Structure 1
Amino acid sequence: MQKLDKLTKRRILFLLTAMFFLGVSATDIYIASLPQMVADFHSTPQTVNLTLSSYSIGIAFGVLFTGELSNRFGRRKVLLWGVSCFSAAAGLITFAPTIWGIIILRVIQSFGCAVILIVPRLILKDCMDEREQVHANGVLLMGLIISPAIAPVLGAYIATYLSWHYCFLFSAIAGFILVAITKKILPETNLERISRIPSLQRYLKGYLSLLKNRIFITLTLIYASGVGAYFAFIGISSYLYIGYLHISPIKYSYVFLGLSAAYLTGNQLMQLLNRKKAPLVNIIGIGVYSTASGVVILIITLFFDNLTVIALLATIGVLLMRVANALINPPTQIKIMSHFHTQSAQALGLNMCIGFSVNSLATYMVTMLPTYPLLSFVLTSGIFIGICLAAYKLNHKIIS
């Protein structure tokens, strides 16, 4: 383990948390601008939403190999390249003349985000003991809670008073600042690099064995479909609130403050149940039924014509989904790592890969009926939650 003093560890943790926030915010910051991008590029919601889907699918594949790259070439070097790649792509998006140029650049940006999601956790493992890691990872993951609260509001103001292009410029500048700080304060923490990256055949063999395992498939389906339903909201929400419900971009962005509070509430409930020694499968079950309740409320919105009532019920439904994400995500991934102890890194990587792939699919599927955003959202989220509920009901004894 790399021995560092407390002050250096604190600085590194602050730096890595800022990177986490930056990577997650890359979608949240321009979410309110999707309808305007459709208009600016004379495009369609389906095409513009590929900027979301391509980002998720790029992360899905990037997380499979990022860890091994840092094992071979070092954490510091891979992290610097990753954040630089992320920032350069964001800067180029600012000046991209076509929507397809943005989509390609978003794929490049996503590879940088994959590094940001994986390498900081490995750096913490390199320089901290288990007790320190628990605390540090809790701080690190605050980026996942804070970003959806702050980034959409910040992006809505930037887009309203400047232009959506400046949302990407903001990400680029912030990213390059973090690159400069990283060069100055982050030492190399991987003192035992591998001599060569394992063969692709070895990777594929391990992934294939996981895909044949019913426990892995069940836990991953529950996790991925639950998050996929929420990402359906991410993909359609701006068209629903701004275009259909005629809510201003700034007021729409405030919905994400509530969603962050909902996730934090679910996280606190999960920790309370865990302290009371509730079985993880029961905690997951509460999350599954919570997200199913959210879909039921969304279905009810279809029977109302009043836009205020629709906005209220739709928001309540999504808040329940977000609470459910906090109850489902950590327990499913913990059970995966515990059950597949000797393959924990591969199992978690494949789990995240499938999750981000489903997110990509959800953000694309939800725009299939662009003139009926509410119906499209209800149908898409209903499909994913149906899968989530079926996977749990049919296999909850197996994953106990």
Structure 2
Amino acid sequence: MPRKIPALMPSWLVLMGALAALGPLAIDMYLPAFGAIAQDLQAPQGLVERTLASYLLGLAGAQLLYGPLADRYGRKLPLVAGLVLFTIASLGCALSDNIYQLTVWRIVQAFGGAAGMVIPRAVIRDYLDTQEAARALSLLMLVMGVMPIVAPLLGGQAVTLGSWRTVFYLMAAAGVALTWLTTRNMREPLAAELRTPLAVSTITANFWLLLRHRGFVGYTLAGGFGSAGMFAYISGSPQVFIDIYGIDPRWFGLLFGLNAASLILAAQLSARLLRRHTPLKLLLHAQISLVLMTALGLILTLAGWITLPLLMVCLMGFMASQGFVNPNAAALALAEQGPRLGTASALMGCLQMLCGALSGFAISLWHADSPLPLTTLLTICALLSWVASRLAKPPVLRAPI
């Protein structure tokens, strides 16, 4: 029987938020360390930036493994295994002697962190229907959204007080803490009779059915292209803020945090509005804002009128729009996937991370003395997100109460 979310966020949902935040932690925390890594490992800036894109590719591929595993063995066992792998790989990153070792360990780290991307979404849908799941995913951003604010600040201080390796030691400590909390507090939500066989034919059939499902693909790509814009921002923001506008790396996290705060506040507003409006209505309206804010940034850049305050306005508008797009698109994509929730969550995460990795590679290859690469990619991603949602087939949802 689907639950309703109480006024106070339940402890199981807080834990799911912390687990889902592990992947963003590994992305955001080391951004201020890019320069230090390049200097210490004597590597070009582009190769350091590509460690992020490599991490995203690892997340994309690994999620395809965790979905079927979570449908076969339950949610808890694959999650704990992923957390252990993440912890070991974080230590490997900290001990890397060159950029190539770091890149390999980042991919291994992604294979561990992917468990926190896939399984919490499946757990939410185990407990909640589509309307409540959209609210839960919005509330989850309150927990996840703190990470983009805290992580770069913490990473910047770690680099200042220690070295870039300290950042990865802190990631390993987070992995240990979450492993302990999950082992101690998480209850298995998937009953034994609901588990599906781990057979190639079953897995292939489930993936094929999902790829043929117009609603799943459309809303997954709507969220995926929006996330691609976020990853373009994450990958490109150190160069834009630090190199182009001369922001001290210690204060990079503050600007990063303002944009993350926009995402958090908008997601909480989305959770409240879902009491009266459907996820589809909120998604379609938010995507109009997404396109307008990114297009404004591109026009200002092309006209030569862009300044740091104007860029921040456009970026905060983009992130606020994403606070509506991400949770509602995810809930709509998973709306009709009950028998294969783990696999659906995995494929959704994979497609979205592939979009993010491609945008991350694109921003690492295109350097300029203005924010033009960033504003251009954000606009392209926003337009593609808008198109994808318009091509999707809306699921049948109950009216909000």
User: Into which bin does the TM-score normalised by the smaller protein fall?
Assistant: 0.7 to 0.9
1:102, 1:159 → 2: CA distance? Answer: 17
The alpha-carbon distance between structure 1 residues 29 and 334, as it changes in their structure 2 partners (threshold 3 A), is same
Which of 337, 341, 358 is matched with 2:355 structurally? Answer: 358
The code of the aligned residue for 1:326 comes to G
Contact 1:284/1:331 (<8 A) preserved: yes
Q: Spell out the pairing of 1:132-281 with structure 2 (5 A cutoff).
A: 141-183=141-183, 192=192, 197-277=197-277, 279-281=278-280
CA RMSD, aligned part only? 3.5
Q: Spell out the pairing of 1:330-349 with structure 2 (5 A cutoff).
A: 330-349=327-346
The alpha-carbon distance between structure 1 residues 201 and 127, as it changes in their structure 2 partners (threshold 3 A), is closer
Shift of 1:130: 11
Match of 1:35 in 2: 35
Shift of 1:294: 1.9
Per-residue CA deviation, residues 210-261 of structure 1 (Å, 9 max, x unaligned), is 3234333322222111111111010100011111111011222112221222
More RCO (CA 8 Å, sep 6+): 2
Question: Residue 209 of structure 1: SS of its match in structure 2?
Answer: helix
In the superposition, the TM-score normalised over structure 2's length comes to 0.84
Shift of 1:97: 0.9
Contact 2:263/2:323 (<8 A) preserved: yes
2:133, 2:61 → 1: CA distance? Answer: 26
Per-residue CA deviation, residues 251-277 of structure 1 (Å, 9 max, x unaligned), is 221122212221122213323432233
The code of the aligned residue for 1:284 comes to L
Which of 309, 326, 329 is matched with 1:329 structurally? Answer: 326
Shift of 1:393: 5.0
Match of 1:81 in 2: 81
The alpha-carbon distance between structure 1 residues 240 and 132, as it changes in their structure 2 partners (threshold 3 A), is closer
2:143, 2:87 → 1: CA distance? Answer: 18
The alpha-carbon distance between structure 1 residues 160 and 300, as it changes in their structure 2 partners (threshold 3 A), is farther
Shift of 1:158: 1.2
Match of 2:281 in 1: 282
Match of 2:297 in 1: 298
1:166, 1:352 → 2: CA distance? Answer: 29
Question: Residue 293 of structure 1: SS of its match in structure 2?
Answer: helix
The code of the aligned residue for 1:314 comes to L
The alpha-carbon distance between structure 1 residues 123 and 230, as it changes in their structure 2 partners (threshold 3 A), is closer
Question: Residue 264 of structure 1: SS of its match in structure 2?
Answer: helix
1:261, 1:150 → 2: CA distance? Answer: 11
1:174, 1:114 → 2: CA distance? Answer: 15
Contact 1:35/1:243 (<8 A) preserved: no
Question: Residue 371 of structure 2: SS of its match in structure 1?
Answer: helix
Contact 1:225/1:384 (<8 A) preserved: yes
The alpha-carbon distance between structure 1 residues 362 and 388, as it changes in their structure 2 partners (threshold 3 A), is same
The code of the aligned residue for 2:375 comes to V
1:89, 1:314 → 2: CA distance? Answer: 36
The alpha-carbon distance between structure 1 residues 36 and 370, as it changes in their structure 2 partners (threshold 3 A), is farther
The code of the aligned residue for 1:333 comes to A
Match of 1:105 in 2: 105
The code of the aligned residue for 1:263 comes to L
The code of the aligned residue for 2:313 comes to I
The alpha-carbon distance between structure 1 residues 267 and 304, as it changes in their structure 2 partners (threshold 3 A), is same
Question: Residue 43 of structure 1: SS of its match in structure 2?
Answer: coil
Per-residue CA deviation, residues 302-337 of structure 1 (Å, 9 max, x unaligned), is 25668xx52112211111111111211222222222
Contact 2:136/2:271 (<8 A) preserved: no
1:368 aligns with 2:365: yes
Shift of 1:354: 0.4
1:239, 1:297 → 2: CA distance? Answer: 21
Contact 1:33/1:238 (<8 A) preserved: no
Farther-moved stretch of structure 1 (329-338 vs 186-195): 186-195
The alpha-carbon distance between structure 1 residues 179 and 206, as it changes in their structure 2 partners (threshold 3 A), is closer
Match of 2:376 in 1: 379
Contact 1:293/1:317 (<8 A) preserved: no
The alpha-carbon distance between structure 1 residues 63 and 235, as it changes in their structure 2 partners (threshold 3 A), is same
Percent identical residues: 23
Shift of 1:287: 1.5
1:29, 1:336 → 2: CA distance? Answer: 29
2:139, 2:280 → 1: CA distance? Answer: 26
2:270, 2:11 → 1: CA distance? Answer: 29
Question: Residue 226 of structure 1: SS of its match in structure 2?
Answer: helix
The code of the aligned residue for 1:43 comes to A
1:209, 1:195 → 2: CA distance? Answer: 18
In the superposition, the TM-score normalised over structure 1's length comes to 0.84
2:186, 2:279 → 1: CA distance? Answer: 37
Per-residue CA deviation, residues 161-183 of structure 1 (Å, 9 max, x unaligned), is 32221110111123224434555
Unpaired segments of 5 or more residues in structure 1?
Answer: 2-8
Unpaired segments of 5 or more residues in structure 2?
Answer: 2-8
The alpha-carbon distance between structure 1 residues 213 and 128, as it changes in their structure 2 partners (threshold 3 A), is closer
Contact 2:76/2:187 (<8 A) preserved: yes
Contact 2:29/2:152 (<8 A) preserved: yes
The code of the aligned residue for 2:280 comes to V
Q: Spell out the pairing of 1:33-72 with structure 2 (5 A cutoff).
A: 33-72=33-72
Contact 2:71/2:340 (<8 A) preserved: no
Per-residue CA deviation, residues 373-398 of structure 1 (Å, 9 max, x unaligned), is 61211222222222223334566889
The code of the aligned residue for 2:331 comes to I
Match of 2:4 in 1: none
The code of the aligned residue for 1:147 comes to M
